[in-house]
């Protein structure tokens, strides 16, 4: 069993606490002979890093990845790829007030009860800092399955919600604004909303939509590794996620079969795509699209009642530097996990026919 391993044939195993010496991981099963563009990897990390804009945490950390093995003269060698990202800007004293206090809706209480011990500095292992590891691995996976294009974007912030039809969007605009919404008008509203919420010392939730295109038919294993099940599990592994839906999603529950069925064209494509590109757990070549729900960040800059580890009532107020909305920085993470899942099934698919 692997508590810290993601993937089946292409595996990422990770370690690292928010305020330890470093975080990092090992990527196993990556095929040999893939040319690696290290700058492209760092660029993905930069999309996730703190301090990149005024609507995210102001903590500054370079998040530089160092590869320690598995890449030789610019190519993967087929051996395991080890990497570390040093933690350079830990202000552990920002958390010293938390040592014995449980932050509401955080993992403090549950870690303590589960393990009987907890690294309280910055959330320890429960910190979303871990997702930098995922971005590294996902960026490598993207280079392996470069024919597939994966585009995630912020599709709602609080009640500000985009139309679900993504067909008119220009994904190249996602990076043109700090909230990562390809509809620039909506983007502005979202940014304003986040700024307003931050002023109140509060936080807000949102959703990310992800679209994967140019998918080969046949990805996914049809019983316990359905493509959407593995994607869903990946997304539900991301901090603050409360829900996942693909294709018609929850709306689809209100439809009738005669409305919902995707009728075939003669080339095997379908006229509609309520299936979200996956039928029977297997990709059918149409776009894969899904939506991920993020709750508001639990750390707020307001006074909250809570308890300490002895069960005594006390109060807490967020210190440190936190995101008012997790969604903009989670966009590259959603893409990274999607790339990992697709690359895994892509490799696996080579073994399914005689």
Residue 306 contacts a copy of itself per CB under 8 A: yes
Residue 77 contacts a copy of itself per CB under 8 A: yes
By the 10 Å C-beta count (0-12 exposed, 13-18 middle, 19+ buried), 328 is classed as buried
Provide the minimum distance between the beta carbon of 122 and a copy of itself in the complex, in angstroms, as a whole number.
12
Cβ neighbours of residue 309 closer than 8 Å, sequence gap 6 or more = 100, 101, 102, 112
**CB under 8 A: which stretch of 45-53, 88-96, 176-184, 299-307 binds a copy of itself?**
299-307
Selection from 118, 83, 84, 82 nearest residue 103 by Cα: 118
For a copy of itself, the closer of residues 46 and 202 by Cβ is: 202
Residue 6 contacts a copy of itself per CB under 8 A: yes
Provide the minimum distance between the beta carbon of 141 and a copy of itself in the complex, in angstroms, as a whole number.
12
Beta bridge partners of 270: 264
Q: How many CB atoms lie within 10 A of CB 353?
A: 6
Residue 76 contacts a copy of itself per CB under 8 A: yes
Provide the minimum distance between the beta carbon of 175 and a copy of itself in the complex, in angstroms, as a whole number.
22
Provide the minimum distance between the beta carbon of 259 and a copy of itself in the complex, in angstroms, as a whole number.
8
Residue 53 contacts a copy of itself per CB under 8 A: no
Selection from 65, 72, 73 nearest residue 44 by Cα: 65
**CB under 8 A: which stretch of 52-60, 165-173, 177-185, 250-258 binds a copy of itself?**
250-258
Cβ neighbours of residue 53 closer than 8 Å, sequence gap 6 or more = 178, 328
CB 298 within 8 A of CB 105: yes
Virtual torsion, Cα 14, 18, 21, 25, nearest 10 deg: 10
Q: Which of 119, 188, 192, 287 binds a copy of itself (CB under 8 A)?
A: 119
Residue 48 contacts a copy of itself per CB under 8 A: no
308 membership: H or E segment, kind and range: strand 303-308
How many residues of this chain interact with a copy of itself, rule: CB under 8 A? 149
Residue 98 contacts a copy of itself per CB under 8 A: no
Rounded Cα distance, 96 and 110, in Å:
19
Residue 312 contacts a copy of itself per CB under 8 A: yes
For a copy of itself, the closer of residues 15 and 171 by Cβ is: 15
For a copy of itself, the closer of residues 26 and 169 by Cβ is: 26
CA-based end-to-end distance of the chain: 29
Residue 350 contacts a copy of itself per CB under 8 A: yes
Q: Is 127 annotated as a binding residue?
A: yes
Selection from 97, 187, 156, 128 nearest residue 336 by Cα: 128
Q: Which of 211, 215, 298, 342 binds a copy of itself (CB under 8 A)?
A: 298
Site string for a copy of itself, 125-164 (x = CB under 8 A): xx---x-------------x-----------x-xx-----
Cβ neighbours of residue 235 closer than 8 Å, sequence gap 6 or more = 241, 244, 290, 292, 334, 337
Q: Is 40 annotated as a binding residue?
A: no
Provide the minimum distance between the beta carbon of 184 and a copy of itself in the complex, in angstroms, as a whole number.
21
Beta bridge partners of 303: 317
Q: Is 296 annotated as a binding residue?
A: yes
Residue 100 contacts a copy of itself per CB under 8 A: no
Question: What single-letter DSSP state applies at residue 287?
Answer: P
Q: Is 118 annotated as a binding residue?
A: no
Question: What single-letter DSSP state applies at residue 296?
Answer: P
Virtual torsion, Cα 220, 221, 222, 224, nearest 10 deg: -120
Site string for a copy of itself, 315-344 (x = CB under 8 A): ------------------------------
Residues at the annotated binding site for NADP(+)?
48, 54
Residues at the annotated binding site for FMN?
125-127, 239-240, 280, 295-299, 321
Residues at the annotated binding site?
48, 54, 125-127, 239-240, 280, 295-299, 321
């Amino acid at each position: 069993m692997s508590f810290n391993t993601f993937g089946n044939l292409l595996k990422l195993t990770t370690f690292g606490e928010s305020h330890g010496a470093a975080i990092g991981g090992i990527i196993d099963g990556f095929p040999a002979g893939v040319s690696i563009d290290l700058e492209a990897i760092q660029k993905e990390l930069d999309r996730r890093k703190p301090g990149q804009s005024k609507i995210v945490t102001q903590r500054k950390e370079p998040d530089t990845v160092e590869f320690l093995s598995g890449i030789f003269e610019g190519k993967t060698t087929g051996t395991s790829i080890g990497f570390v990202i040093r933690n350079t800007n830990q202000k552990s004293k920002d958390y010293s007030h938390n040592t014995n206090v449980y932050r509401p809706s955080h993992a403090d209480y549950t870690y303590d009860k589960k393990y009987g011990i907890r690294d309280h500095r910055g959330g320890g292992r429960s910190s979303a800092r871990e997702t930098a590891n995922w971005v590294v691995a996902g960026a490598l996976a993207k280079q392996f399955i470069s024919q597939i294009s994966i585009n995630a974007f912020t599709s709602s912030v609080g009640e500000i919600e985009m139309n679900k039809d993504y067909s008119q969007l220009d994904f190249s605009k996602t990076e043109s604004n700090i909230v990562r919404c390809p509809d620039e008008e909506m983007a502005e509203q979202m940014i304003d909303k986040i700024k307003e919420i931050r002023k109140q010392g509060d936080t807000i939730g949102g959703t990310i939509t992800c679209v994967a295109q140019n998918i080969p038919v046949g990805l996914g294993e049809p019983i316990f590794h359905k493509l959407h099940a593995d994607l869903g599990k990946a997304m539900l592994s991301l901090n603050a996620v409360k829900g996942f839906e693909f294709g018609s999603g929850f709306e689809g529950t209100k439809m009738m079969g005669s409305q919902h069925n995707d009728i075939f064209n003669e080339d095997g494509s379908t006229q509609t795509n309520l299936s979200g590109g996956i039928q029977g757990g297997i990709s059918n070549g149409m776009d894969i699209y899904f939506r991920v729900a993020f709750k508001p960040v639990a750390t707020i800059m307001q006074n909250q009642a809570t308890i300490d580890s002895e069960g005594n009532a006390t109060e807490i107020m967020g210190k440190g530097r936190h995101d008012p909305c997790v969604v903009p920085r989670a966009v590259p993470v959603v893409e990274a996990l999607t790339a990992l899942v697709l690359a895994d099934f892509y490799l696996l698919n080579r073994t399914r026919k005689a």
